[in-house]
Chain A
Amino acid sequence: MTEEILKVEHLDKFYDDRQVLHDINFSLKKGEVLTLLGPSGSGKSTLLRTLNGLEDYKNGAIYFHGKKINPSPKEWQMLRQKIGMVFQSYDLFPNLTVIENVLLAPVKVQKRNENEVKEEAIKLLKQVRLDQYLNAYPRELSGGQKQRVAIVRALAMKPEVMLLDEITASLDPEMVRGIEEIVERLSKRDHMTMIIVTHQMNFASRIADEVLFLENGHILEDTPGKDFFDHPQTQRTKEFLDSMDY
């Protein structure tokens, strides 16, 4: 549980002249769950996307297993196979069935054996109760089902880290609970290393080993999960938690 997988040092990110991330520093150990909290527009999703190479950064460095990432398209392409990402809007490929969505990257990108991957994929889909929908198209699924497929699609790549970007934000409360259970199981049972952006404070308090609280692209607080919710350090964090009815 102590091996450091991801480390970010003095990261700055700009959109043209506007700085959206200021001197971001943190590290993530194997099996740890880091939760990014903060108001809308604070830079949580931007930070998450930066960690997957979907956004570039101006200053600072990101290390993966102690090795500094060279932010070239080729290196990100390799790293993304180890750093899985799930988006708020699911982003399944609409022209492919559930099983095709899950198999595409492991078979075509990682060049793994299709039969083996299919066996694993069906097992994963069974765990999220979607094995009856192998040949369904995304448009035939509910939001919660789509999000479960998106999680399985990312897991089928056997990532070392999962980045979850507000994955319950588009779902109704009943579906939210189902997705949260899957993520909690991933953490507690499979010890998956994760960085999670969420506005669900109860979920965050149950799952977070560490919390980064961001505002206007600055880290205002970096504390262990339990401390963050029980003893917030700053007045701003207290106000934020109050506003979230936590």
Chain B
Amino acid sequence: MNWSIIQQALPLFAHAFGLTIWLSLIGIIGSIIVGIIASLTQYFKIPVISQIMTAYVELARNTPLLIQLFFLYYAFPVIGIKMSAEVCGIIGLIFLGGAYMAEGFTGGFNGISTSQINSGKALGMSRFQLARYVVFPQGFALSLPALTANIIFLIKETSIFSVIAIPELTNTALDLIGMYYRSNEYLLMLVIAYAIILIPVILLLTWLERRVRYGAFGN
């Protein structure tokens, strides 16, 4: 192991590290928003929109992110839609993540008992108020384990961005290996970088899961 190689590569990895976090963050926030919208429209069976959302969820979940990225990056320009690699990456991640998040939220929302819904209805709540005050807060607590798994999955999926030349962690490591033929050093850096991102995220989400289950807003 040559430590000076690691030292020299640190600035490049630091940049890739920041970019990976940034892309993951936008992708996760976007996925959660899309997931909530998709699952609530399905939960309340809003005509047409819920069917469109079901089709979207199935399409997104049953095609690999790699193919989705190729489609966005190489096929869209053919029909005149050109986007930077980063934008394609974020759209791809939200497209895929939104479907997984929707499934996670749907599982949580379906776990709410009918009697809770009737209780809200009996208090004169509208559909929106039911969603806002009954379905979402309770469903969120129930879907948190699935959301945690999805968040970790999406962060790891950013490694696929390397195929469209986004200089995130995996792309940077592969580039450096290709240039200097020092795979041990760069792969070690790659593993450590992902661990630095993922371990705090896992700890934070595990704490949140416990708090939701047993804490102030748990069942």
Q: Is there contact, CB below 8 Å, between B123 and A153?
A: yes
Interface SS majority for chain B:
helix
* Contact of A108 with B133 at beta-carbon distance under 8 Å, contacts A89-B115, A91-B115, A95-B138 already known: yes
Q: How large is the interface on B (under 10, 10 to 19, 20 to 34, 35 or more residues)?
A: 20 to 34
The CB with the most chain A CB atoms within 10 A, among B119, B126, B127, B219, is that of B119
Smallest distance from the beta carbon of B79 to chain A beta carbons, Å? 42
Interface residues of A in 93-129 (CB under 8 A from B): 93-95, 104-105, 108-110
* Contact of A109 with B115 at beta-carbon distance under 8 Å, contacts A94-B219, A95-B219, A139-B219 already known: no
Q: How large is the interface on A (under 10, 10 to 19, 20 to 34, 35 or more residues)?
A: 20 to 34
The CB with the most chain A CB atoms within 10 A, among B133, B134, B138, B219, is that of B133
Set of chain B residues within 8 Å of A93, measured between Cβ atoms: 116, 119-120, 133-134, 138
Q: A84 to B124, alpha carbons, bound, how many Å? A: 9
Smallest distance from the beta carbon of B12 to chain A beta carbons, Å? 46
User: Is B218 among interface residues, defined by CB-CB distance under 8 A?
Assistant: yes
Residue of B nearest to A150 (CB): B119
Task: State which of A84, A95, A137 has its C-beta within 8 Å of the C-beta of B122.
Answer: A84
Residue of B nearest to A54 (CB): B118
Residue of B nearest to A53 (CB): B121
Smallest distance from the beta carbon of A79 to chain B beta carbons, Å? 8
User: Is A234 among interface residues, defined by CB-CB distance under 8 A?
Assistant: no
User: Is A33 among interface residues, defined by CB-CB distance under 8 A?
Assistant: no
Task: State which of B118, B123, B134, B216 has its C-beta within 8 Å of the C-beta of A157.
Answer: B123
Q: Is there contact, CB below 8 Å, between A87 and B115?
A: yes
Set of chain A residues within 8 Å of B206, measured between Cβ atoms: none
Q: A73 to B128, alpha carbons, bound, how many Å? A: 13
User: Is A69 among interface residues, defined by CB-CB distance under 8 A?
Assistant: no
Set of chain B residues within 8 Å of A85, measured between Cβ atoms: 122
User: Is A244 among interface residues, defined by CB-CB distance under 8 A?
Assistant: no
User: Is A35 among interface residues, defined by CB-CB distance under 8 A?
Assistant: no
Q: Is there contact, CB below 8 Å, between B141 and A87?
A: no
Set of chain A residues within 8 Å of B116, measured between Cβ atoms: 91, 93
Q: Is there contact, CB below 8 Å, between A77 and B118?
A: no
Q: A93 to B130, alpha carbons, bound, how many Å? A: 12
Interface residues of B in 162-219 (CB under 8 A from A): 216-219
Smallest distance from the beta carbon of A47 to chain B beta carbons, Å? 15
Smallest distance from the beta carbon of B102 to chain A beta carbons, Å? 22
Q: A95 to B120, alpha carbons, bound, how many Å? A: 13
Q: A227 to B18, alpha carbons, bound, how many Å? A: 81
User: Is A182 among interface residues, defined by CB-CB distance under 8 A?
Assistant: no
Q: Is there contact, CB below 8 Å, between B219 and A105?
A: no
Q: A228 to B1, alpha carbons, bound, how many Å? A: 94
User: Is A52 among interface residues, defined by CB-CB distance under 8 A?
Assistant: yes
User: Is A237 among interface residues, defined by CB-CB distance under 8 A?
Assistant: no
Instruction: Give per-residue flags for B106-139: 1 if the beta carbon is below 8 A from chain A beta carbons, else 0.
Output: 0000000001101111111111010001100110
Set of chain B residues within 8 Å of A84, measured between Cβ atoms: 122
Residue of B nearest to A95 (CB): B217
Q: Is there contact, CB below 8 Å, between A109 and B138?
A: no
Residue of B nearest to A88 (CB): B115
Smallest distance from the beta carbon of A82 to chain B beta carbons, Å? 8
User: Is A238 among interface residues, defined by CB-CB distance under 8 A?
Assistant: no
Smallest distance from the beta carbon of B109 to chain A beta carbons, Å? 14
Set of chain A residues within 8 Å of B219, measured between Cβ atoms: 94-95, 139
Task: Give 5 new A-B contacts, CB below 8 A, not counting A95-B219, A109-B123, A157-B124.
Answer: A77-B124, A87-B119, A91-B119, A94-B219, A108-B133
